[in-house]
């Protein structure tokens, strides 16, 4: 069982999108039982809320269901998950400060490091204050990164 937590700022747009896409992809590969998939935010503003309706609508167009209620990431999550995947630089910096052990630091990754079309260190752009196409971009990026991530996990290192 591999436990994965996707992390953004509010846990209502990007990380629930990544969670929904990864869950869908894993199901398509018949691997549902092998993964525990969750998401969280580095900010607590939207705790308890469902994913943003713009994210949910854009994902539904692609047959992907977004579920869950927003929650804030805590330091203890570094012990509950094997992989903690940050959507952008800011999230990565906040999570780096919360990762106080070598084991925790090894678990922390950047989402776009799994996206083959991405330059090194790139972010998943925050769609919250933008137009509809931001949500489509997030879906495209998360789809590519989730495929890259699953490939790494199914094939193993090397
Ligand atoms: P997310 O997007 O981090 O992808 O969930 C945001 C959600 C809310 C806010 C910013 C980004 N906000 O400022 O409330």
Question: Distance between CA atoms of 1 and 101, rounded to whole angstroms?
Answer: 22
Inform me whether the pLDDT recorded for 141 exceeds 80. yes
Please report, for the chain, the start and end positions of each structural domain, with discontinuous segments joined by +.
2-155
Domain 2-155 belongs in CATH node 3.40.50.300: no
Tokens of 119: 């330059």
Is 14 catalytic? The answer is: yes
CA of 52 to the centre of ligand 1 (A): 9
Nearest one of 46, 39, 8, 9 to 21, comparing CA atoms: 39
Residues at CB less than 6 angstroms from ligand 1: 8-14, 45, 126, 128
Q: Which of 11, 12, 17, 87 has most ligand 1 atoms within 8 Å of its beta carbon, as the pocket-test mutant?
A: 12
Is 8 catalytic? The answer is: yes
Tokens of 140: 């495209």
Question: Distance between CA atoms of 78 and 31, rounded to whole angstroms?
Answer: 23
Reported as a pLDDT band with limits 50, 70 and 90, residue 120 is confident
Q: What stretches of the chain show up as alpha helix (H) in DSSP?
A: 14-28, 53-60, 77-80, 89-98, 102-107, 132-155
Inform me whether the pLDDT recorded for 158 exceeds 80. no
Span 126-135, pLDDT tens digits: 999 998 899 9
At residue 157, the pLDDT reads 56
Inform me whether the pLDDT recorded for 156 exceeds 90. no
Full-prediction pTM beyond 0.85?
Answer: yes
CA torsion sign, 120 to 8 to 91 to 157? negative
């Amino acid at each position: 069982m591999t436990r994965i937590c996707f992390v953004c700022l509010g846990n209502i747009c990007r990380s629930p999108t990544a969670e929904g896409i990864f869950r869908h992809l894993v199901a398509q590969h018949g691997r549902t039982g092998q993964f525990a998939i969750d998401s969280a935010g580095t900010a607590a503003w939207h705790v308890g809320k469902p994913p943003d309706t713009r994210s949910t609508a854009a994902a539904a167009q692609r047959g992907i269901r977004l579920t869950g209620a927003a929650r804030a990431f805590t330091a203890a999550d570094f012990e509950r998950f094997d992989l903690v995947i940050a959507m952008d630089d800011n999230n990565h910096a906040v999570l780096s400060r919360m990762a106080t052990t070598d084991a925790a630091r090894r678990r922390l990754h950047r989402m776009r490091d799994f996206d083959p079309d991405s330059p090194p260190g790139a972010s998943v752009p925050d769609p919250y204050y933008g137009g509809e196409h931001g949500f489509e971009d997030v879906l495209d990026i998360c789809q590519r990164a989730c495929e890259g991530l699953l490939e790494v996990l199914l094939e193993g290192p090397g």
